[in-house]
Structure 1
């Protein structure tokens, strides 16, 4: 598939896909006319990259971890790094839950009309 098709399939911009290639996260073949061509596995790779970026990992970290993901094995160092990233995300989730619950409390507390707080 061409880069535009991959972008459409993954809802990722062409610019981002080019960046992934520049960083070594994604590979393509080239057509005779020089267009990038991707195999069907590229869709899953881009989705994985997006998930890892969304989890806060840097492109450098993702690049270091992808060989382990591809081989479905890990080194003690890569496993330690993955566990640390997971723990960081778990802590972030806990903080977000606390913030959400606090907002719910404020919403409940302020659900009664008060003319002094009219922001309209």
Structure 2
């Protein structure tokens, strides 16, 4: 199928498909007239690439993952790669916890229940941000 057909089948723009190809994530055959020709498996591959991008993986990791999804994946490399993907996932979980802690702290300040660390009794009553009436 040609690039426009693949675009319609996947919802990916033709520009995105060319980008995937430039990054080594997707391959096509060139016809004598210069048009790109994609195999039927490209629809599934583009959907997978888009899922991995939405998951926050960079193209260099996606490029390494794709061979592991082949009918006959390379031996050994996929185990190490799976560990790397777990690291990325764990880092996202750590960032989520950190963001939740920061949001909770801001909620406490906004509710007037927090005092800046280290100020103890020197902080304003209620620990508000100093934006209320004096």
Q: TM-score, normalised by structure 2?
A: 0.60
Which has the larger share of helix?
1
Change in CA separation of 1:38 and 1:114 when aligned onto 2, cut-off 3 Å: same
Please list every run of 5 or more consecutive structure 2 residues that lacks an aligned counterpart in the other structure. 113-127
Cα deviation for residue 6 of structure 1 reads 2.8
Q: Is the 8 A contact 2:20 2:26 kept in 1?
A: yes
- Establish whether residue 116 from structure 1 lines up as the match of residue 116 from structure 2: no
Q: Distance in 2 between matches of 1:62 and 1:94?
A: 21
Please list every run of 5 or more consecutive structure 1 residues that lacks an aligned counterpart in the other structure. none
For 1:39-50, list aligned pairs within 5 A.
39-50=39-50
Offset from partner CA, 1:17-63 (integer Å, 9 cap, x none): 1122233321234556433333443222112122334432333x433
- Establish whether residue 58 from structure 1 lines up as the match of residue 83 from structure 2: no
Q: Distance in 2 between matches of 1:114 and 1:62?
A: 44
Q: TM-score, normalised by structure 1?
A: 0.65
Aligned residues: 116
| Cα root mean square deviation, aligned | 3.2
For 1:14-53, list aligned pairs within 5 A.
14-30=14-30, 33-53=33-53
Q: Distance in 2 between matches of 1:107 and 1:9?
A: 45
Structure with higher RCO (Cα < 8 A, 6+ apart): 1
